C-alpha cells in the first residue's frame, strides 16, 4: 500500500509538471518558421457557424506550406465533411501547380461527440469519456506506434474555435505535453459571434492554449492573456 507521503509527493510532482507546460504570457514565442518550412495543420470543425468561420480562416493560408491538413469532425456532422472537401477541391482546382505525387493532401478524422445538443448533464460524462478515449488514441497512440514517414506527431498546429468537443482534444494534446512527446501548438480563435463575453469553451481553454485570439477588443478588457486581430472572418 502506498504511503500518504508518497502519494503527496507524486501529486506534487504532477502539479509541478503541469505548471511547467502551461503557456505563460512571459514566455517568448518560438522563432518564426522559414518561408520554405512546411507545417502540418489540424483543424477542428465544430459544425454550423463554427465550421464556416474556421474554414474561412483556413482558406486564407498557403496550402502548399500548411500541409498535410487534418480536419477533425464530430460523428454525424456530414455537412462539415462536405464543406472541408469542397474547400480542398476548390483550392486544388485553382492552384497553378499541384504536387500530384502527394495523394494525401488532407484527411478527415471523425471522433465521438463529447456532448450532444440538449444532452443531460448526467449522460454527458460517459459520452465525454468516450470522446476523450478516441482523442487519446488519435493524438497520442497513433503517432507513437504508426508514424507516417519521418515526421512524428499528430500535427504541428491545432486550430480551434469551439464548441465543447475541442476541450477533450486539448486534454489529449496535454497528455503528450505531460509525457514530453511532440505536441501541436494550440491556437484558439474565439467566434465572431462572441461580442460581449467569451464562450464557455473560450473561458475554459484560455489559460491552456498557446495563442488565444479574439475578434472584438472588449473581450480583452480584463487584461488577461489574449490577442486582438480585428475581424478575421
Q: Convert the pLDDT of each residue in 59-81 to its tens digit.
A: 999 998 999 999 999 998 999 99
More confident residue, 108 or 35: 108
Mean pLDDT over each residue of the chain, to the nearest integer: 86
Angle between helices 48-58 and 78-94 (to 10 degrees): 20
Q: Convert the pLDDT of each residue in 29-61 to its tens digit.
A: 555 666 667 899 999 998 889 999 999 999 999
Task: Tell which residue, 180, 214, 184, 150, has the closest CA to residue 72.
Answer: 184
Fold category of 37-228 in CATH: Rossmann fold (3.40.50)
- In the chain, domain spans: 37-228
Has residue 99 got a pLDDT over 70? Answer: no
**Confidence (pLDDT) at 82:** 95
Long-range contacts (CB closer than 8 Å, 24 or more residues apart) made by 103-109: 104/68, 105/63, 105/67, 105/68, 105/69, 106/68, 106/69, 106/70, 106/71, 107/68, 107/69, 107/70, 107/71, 108/70, 108/71, 108/73, 108/81, 108/84, 109/70, 109/71, 109/72, 109/73, 109/138
**Confidence (pLDDT) at 35:** 65
CA dist., res. 129 & res. 120, Å (int)? 15
Q: Which helix (H) or strand (E) holds 123?
A: helix 121-136
**Confidence (pLDDT) at 84:** 95
Amino acid at each position: 500500500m502506498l504511503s500518504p507521503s508518497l502519494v503527496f509527493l507524486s501529486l506534487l510532482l504532477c502539479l509541478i509538471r503541469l505548471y511547467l507546460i502551461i503557456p505563460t504570457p512571459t514566455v517568448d514565442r518560438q522563432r518564426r518558421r522559414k518561408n520554405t518550412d512546411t507545417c502540418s495543420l489540424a483543424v477542428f470543425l465544430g459544425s454550423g457557424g463554427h465550421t464556416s468561420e474556421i474554414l474561412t480562416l483556413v482558406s486564407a493560408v498557403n496550402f502548399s506550406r500548411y500541409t498535410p491538413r487534418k480536419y477533425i469532425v464530430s460523428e454525424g456532422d456530414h455537412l462539415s465533411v462536405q464543406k472541408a472537401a469542397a474547400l480542398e477541391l476548390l483550392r486544388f482546382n485553382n492552384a497553378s501547380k499541384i504536387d500530384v505525387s502527394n495523394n494525401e493532401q488532407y484527411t478527415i478524422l471523425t471522433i465521438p461527440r463529447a456532448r450532444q445538443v440538449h444532452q443531460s448533464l448526467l449522460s454527458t460524462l460517459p459520452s465525454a469519456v468516450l470522446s476523450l478515449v478516441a482523442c487519446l488514441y488519435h493524438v497520442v497512440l497513433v503517432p507513437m506506434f504508426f508514424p507516417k514517414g519521418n515526421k512524428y506527431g499528430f500535427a504541428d498546429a491545432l486550430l480551434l474555435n469551439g464548441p465543447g468537443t475541442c476541450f477533450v482534444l486539448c486534454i489529449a494534446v496535454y497528455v503528450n505535453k505531460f509525457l514530453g512527446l511532440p505536441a501541436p501548438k494550440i491556437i484558439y480563435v474565439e467566434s465572431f459571434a462572441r461580442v460581449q463575453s467569451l464562450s464557455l469553451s473560450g473561458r475554459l481553454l484560455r489559460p491552456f492554449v498557446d495563442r488565444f485570439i479574439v475578434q472584438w477588443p472588449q473581450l480583452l478588457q480584463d487584461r488577461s492573456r489574449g490577442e486582438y486581430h480585428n475581424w478575421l472572418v
